[in-house]
Amino acid sequence: MMPLSLQTLSSIFIMNIPETNLTAIIKAVESRPAEAALPFNLDDVILHQIARDLRLIELSCTVDDSIEPPLAGAMCLIFHMFLSQTERLKGQSKLEMTEERLRYWLQRYMYYTEREVVARVINMPNQRDADFFMAEIQDSLLSAK
């Protein structure tokens, strides 16, 4: 059997999951606490869109730089968590997002998104993932000050 090309794999991902709906993502998290943007709290449609987008981001960075991945949805969720946590910490933290730091948090968000997809498939939710992720974000903000 011949291996699938990266373009074929990307087409499969894109065909089975609707285009990322940034408006729906914003509505899902606006005026809500940071936790609203955790993979654990996203509905299935948004979760799958973000998982696909994050995978395409990873592939564009590691395998094929000709892929132009959709960044807006994942960045919206990450920035929502960071901005909400910064407000919650009331002056105890400082938000700085370099390209390197954004890349790191995209990878962390991908890790927790993939874990959430699997948790839903096997019907074994894990609230601790959400707690650990929020703790990572808080620690990052507090250490950046």
Q: Please state the pTM of the whole predicted model.
A: 0.82
Per-residue pLDDT of the chain (145 residues; tens, 9 = 90+): 445 455 555 555 555 788 889 999 999 999 999 999 999 999 999 999 999 999 888 887 788 777 777 889 999 999 999 888 888 777 766 667 788 888 899 999 999 999 999 999 999 988 899 999 999 988 888 886 5
Phi and psi for 68 in degrees, rounded to 5?
Answer: -110, 90
3-state secondary structure of 97: coil
**pLDDT at residue number 99:** 86
- Where are the chain's structural domains? 23-143
The angle subtended at Cα 70 by Cα 66 and Cα 72, nearest 5°, is 140
> Residue 64: which of 75, 55, 74, 73 has the closest Cα?
55
Instruction: Tell me how long the chain is.
Output: 145
Contact 19, 37 (CB under 8 A): no
